[in-house]
Amino acid sequence: MHTQCPYCQTIYHVSAAHLNIAQGHVRCSHCRNIFNASNHLVKQLPKQIVSEQSNTDEDMVINSQDFEIPDLLQEDIYEPSHGRSWGSFFFWGIMVIVLTAMLAGQAMWIWQRDKILQHPDFRPWLERFCYTFLCTLPPTRDLKSFRMQEHVAQVHLDIEDAIQFEATFINNATFPQPYPDLQLTFEDANSNSLAQRLFKPIEYLQQPPHENQQMRPKGSVHLKLVLVDMAKVIEEDKIVEGYRFDFF
């Protein structure tokens, strides 16, 4: 008969004498754990067998406190095949790869979240996922698709130290997206900022947008803004230098 240690998986030749002592309890000479040999009998031995011959006196270690429990000797030992160790190595290798991929994915999500959510290749899959699991994605946005078509800035004729700004911009994207914030910056000859104003959609639209209302594809917005307290950029009824606008 053969029994297998449930702790280290080492297989031993066992006799009826072993099973009759201490009600079948034996001590594994490899890992030193005690187990019931009767409950772990092996019906079929593995194909790969490693035999180790050793001296009985060297392998038996019986303390006065557990002399009734025999040690299994290393003669006729069948150790687990190397396939098991390779299997364990393969399993932990896969686990390391999976955990590394999860950490890399988490880092990418933290740093590239907005780009991933707006990426045209990922967006359809994310929308299907949220449709299935009832989650909500932020609206699709591409600020680079906004283009300013016409723009004029001039000193206001009726209001002192004020500038009148009139412009038209278009959404060149193939999808609707939220109205952008518009930032207007006046600069000197060295591109240093002299004055800067940020306008929300509710400020530059003639009619405030409804909740979740978006700018349709190829749609345009014509705006008229009056900027007061602009003495820094006005000299002799003219704007000192140039200006630029950005979408946010």
- Note the pLDDT of residue 71: 59
- pLDDT given for residue 245 in this prediction: 87
User: The tokens of 21 are what?
Assistant: 């002592």
Secondary structure (DSSP) of 174-210: SS-BPPPPEEEEEE-TT--EEEEEEE-HHHHSSSPPP
- Predicted confidence at residue 200, as pLDDT, reads 92
The pLDDT value recorded for residue 44 is 78
Q: Where are the alpha helices (DSSP H) in the chain?
A: 16-20, 56-59, 82-118, 123-133, 201-204
pLDDT at 222: 92
Query: Would you state the CATH architecture of domain 143-247?
Result: Sandwich (2.60)
The pLDDT, as a whole number, for residue 49 is 53
- In this predicted structure, what is the pLDDT of residue 90? 81
- Structural contact between residues 178 and 146, judged by C-beta atoms closer than 8 angstroms: no
Report the DSSP beta bridge partners of residue 199: 182
Q: What is the pLDDT of residue 58?
A: 32
At residue 102, the pLDDT reads 83
User: Quick one: pLDDT at residue 48?
Assistant: 57
pLDDT at 82: 46
| Residues of the chain predicted below pLDDT 50 | 50-67, 74-78, 82-83
Residue whose structure tokens are 């699991």: 133
Q: What is the pLDDT of residues 3-60, one digit of tens each?
A: 889 998 888 888 887 778 778 888 888 888 888 888 888 887 776 554 443 333 333 3
Type of residue at 155: V
- Chain mean position to CA 48: 43
**Per-residue burial over 218-235, b = 16 or more CB atoms within 10 Å of its CB, e = otherwise:** eeebebebebeebeebbe
How confident is the model at residue 181, as a pLDDT?
93
In the chain, what are the domain boundaries? Answer: 2-82, 109-138, 143-247
